Chain A
Amino acid sequence: MSERLVEQLHALIRSASTDLPADVEAALSEAERKEPPGGTAANAFGAILDNVKMARANLTPICQDTGSLIFHVYHPVTMDTLAFRRAIEAATGQATRDILLRPNAVDPVTGKNTGTNLGAGVPYVSFKAWEQDEIRVKLMLKGGGSENVGAQYRLPDSALGAGRDLKGIRKCVLDAVFKAQGMGCAPGVIGVGIGGDRATSYLLSKEQFFRRLGSSNDDPQLDAFEKSLHADLNQLGIGPMGFGGRTTVLGVFVAKQARHPATFYVSVSYMCWACRRKEMTLKNGEAVYDQA
């Protein structure tokens, strides 16, 4: 295992925990400007933006819930994925000792916290081989409070009056964001996965959090759907922290995958305003961070 790779991954984790992406910070600033000055919503955004700057300057975690670590690694077929996984584990352990991460891995039966962020099934790492000769590592830190307000729907849903079409999917997203209120640390970013099975549906919804805020969907139909959903959700008036306000979501990202004819899942994942994600590209051993 290369010590250099461990250092590069450690730097990626540090950056994700302490340095909010520029597009997210810009969206929060814009949301602040939309609120009446001096009101509760504007003050909440002010506190959020102050905290973001302070965390960046002090190199301390933006939020004490440094989340679950979710890695997506795109790699040439020749890469040793077992060694890479060991490097991720070493970097995660080091970042925990360096107080960049809170120990967040708990045995659900014994209740014991491993203290290291390492444990059965964590950190989550997905390896995807590709034809490029470079390695791209995407990392998100996914908080538990926002994870708890995610929801999965099976269409048709008679309580919502939701059928197996975009109109029905829209109702699912409205329902999930309404029920979340401020509990997922609003304003959130919403990831929607359509199709797949129970597990892959949620995976797809969470993978959307790697998209930049304001980016377009490659699928014109879904792009239009995202834009209209975004406007609808901000009419809910839930606002920052659920205090009431004009911005309830910072963005909505929708993706689809094939489904079994019998099933139709819609998964809605919620990412808190502290949408912490970073990317690193490795080429000939050199790391470049956050190349769009």
Chain B
Amino acid sequence: MIKLEIPIPEPKIRELRVGDTVLLSGLVVTARDAGHKLMVEERPRFLDDLLREGVIYHCGPVVRKEGERWTFVAAGPTTSSREEPYQAKVIESYTVRGVIGKGGMGAATKEACRKFGAVYLHAVGGCGTSIAQSVKEVVAVHKLEEFGTPEAFWVIRVVDFPVIVTMDTHGNSIHDQVREQSKQVYERLLND
């Protein structure tokens, strides 16, 4: 088990290998479809300090508001492949070190991870309630009115958020490995 504090310097990220289990602590920013489109098309500046050597989380949470205080009630990962058209550009332009999601990402993101020093971190999909326990504080929210709850940028403080490295800075991807192995079985079964 490796413990990492956000922001994460590049050398620390480059030490990680696929299969490593990591407990993340620090500030994380949620972003999904509307957020990634905005980050690429308009390149807003308000995320610069948060994302420099920072971590993006593909998540649309269930939230509760009591007075002015927000809390996360359920907050598992969403499918990352939808952000594949944007992720490489976002990693490069904001110097992102980690992307948390589920299901893995494609060749462009893998190359950006290698080139710019970032990893893809897999959280266990569907674990909304348990992952929300790692979210200790909602620090801020951006674009809530415009994007709605699931799509807003939620800035959260996490402690010991459990993730698995499934794409590293060395060009390795567990998703590629599993796809390749399953492809051989698939082709054999198709021709049975």
Is B60 touching A65 in the complex (CB atoms < 8 A)?
Answer: yes
A residues in contact with B26, CB < 8 Å: none
A interface residues, how many (CB within 8 angstroms): 55
Given A60-B74, A64-B59, A243-B178; A160-B148 close (CB under 8 Å): no
Q: Is A139 among interface residues, defined by CB-CB distance under 8 A? A: no
B residues in contact with A5, CB < 8 Å: none
Instruction: Scan residues 33-72 of chain B and give those whose CB is less than 8 A from a CB of chain A.
Output: 34, 59-64
- The segment out of B3-11, B85-93, B113-121, B127-135 that lies at the interface is B127-135
Out of A44, A61, A112, name the residue touching B124 (CB < 8 Å): A44
Is A182 touching B126 in the complex (CB atoms < 8 A)?
Answer: no
Is A178 touching B186 in the complex (CB atoms < 8 A)?
Answer: yes
Given A182-B175, A241-B122; A64-B190 close (CB under 8 Å): no
Q: Is A11 among interface residues, defined by CB-CB distance under 8 A? A: no
Q: Is A213 among interface residues, defined by CB-CB distance under 8 A? A: no
Instruction: Scan residues 135-166 of chain B and give those whose CB is less than 8 A from a CB of chain A.
Output: 147-151, 162, 164, 166
Could you give, for residues 157-187 of chain A, a 1 whenever the CB lies within 8 Å of some chain B CB and a 0 otherwise?
Answer: 0001100000000010011001001111100
Instruction: Scan residues 72-106 of chain B and give those whose CB is less than 8 A from a CB of chain A.
Output: 73-76, 78-79, 81-82, 102-104
In the bound complex, what is the Cα–Cα distance between A112 and B149 (angstroms)? 11
A residues in contact with B12, CB < 8 Å: none
In the bound complex, what is the Cα–Cα distance between A64 and B21 (angstroms)? 23
Is A185 touching B125 in the complex (CB atoms < 8 A)?
Answer: yes
Instruction: Scan residues 105-142 of chain A and give those whose CB is less than 8 A from a CB of chain B.
Output: 106, 111-113, 115
Is A103 touching B73 in the complex (CB atoms < 8 A)?
Answer: no
Q: Is A102 among interface residues, defined by CB-CB distance under 8 A? A: yes
Is A61 touching B178 in the complex (CB atoms < 8 A)?
Answer: no
B residues in contact with A63, CB < 8 Å: 74, 76, 125-128
Most buried by A among B34, B130, B147, B149: B130
Given A50-B130, A62-B128, A145-B103; A238-B178 close (CB under 8 Å): yes
Given A113-B148, A174-B190, A272-B125; A241-B102 close (CB under 8 Å): yes
Is B132 touching A182 in the complex (CB atoms < 8 A)?
Answer: no
Is B79 touching A148 in the complex (CB atoms < 8 A)?
Answer: yes
A residues in contact with B186, CB < 8 Å: 174-175, 178, 236
Tier of interface size on chain B: 35 or more
Give the A-B pair count, Cβ closer than 8 A: 169
A residues in contact with B133, CB < 8 Å: 54
B residues in contact with A104, CB < 8 Å: 150
Is A235 touching B126 in the complex (CB atoms < 8 A)?
Answer: no
Given A65-B60, A237-B181, A238-B178; A40-B148 close (CB under 8 Å): no
In the bound complex, what is the Cα–Cα distance between A144 and B190 (angstroms)? 28
Out of A144, A239, A273, name the residue touching B178 (CB < 8 Å): A239
Given A145-B103, A273-B126; A244-B132 close (CB under 8 Å): no
Is B129 touching A145 in the complex (CB atoms < 8 A)?
Answer: no
Is A99 touching B130 in the complex (CB atoms < 8 A)?
Answer: no
In the bound complex, what is the Cα–Cα distance between A235 and B60 (angstroms)? 33
In the bound complex, what is the Cα–Cα distance between A54 and B76 (angstroms)? 14
Is B126 touching A274 in the complex (CB atoms < 8 A)?
Answer: yes
Is A242 touching B175 in the complex (CB atoms < 8 A)?
Answer: yes
Could you give, for residues 156-192 of chain B, a 1 whenever the CB lies within 8 Å of some chain A CB and a 0 otherwise?
Answer: 0000001010100000001101110111011001100
Q: Who on chain B is nearest to A245 by CB?
A: B178
Is B62 touching A66 in the complex (CB atoms < 8 A)?
Answer: yes
Instruction: Scan residues 63-104 of chain A and give those whose CB is less than 8 A from a CB of chain B.
Output: 63-66, 99, 101-104
Given A64-B59, A185-B125; A115-B182 close (CB under 8 Å): no
Q: Who on chain B is nearest to A102 by CB?
A: B62
Q: Is A287 among interface residues, defined by CB-CB distance under 8 A? A: no
Q: Is A47 among interface residues, defined by CB-CB distance under 8 A? A: yes
A residues in contact with B130, CB < 8 Å: 47, 50-51, 54-55
A-B contact pairs, 22 of them (CB 8 A): A40-B164, A54-B129, A55-B74, A55-B128, A63-B128, A64-B132, A102-B74, A115-B148, A145-B102, A161-B190, A171-B190, A178-B183, A185-B125, A185-B126, A236-B182, A237-B178, A237-B182, A238-B178, A241-B102, A241-B103, A243-B164, A244-B174
- Which 5 pairs from chain A and chain B are nearest by CB? A113-B148, A183-B103, A64-B74, A51-B127, A64-B128
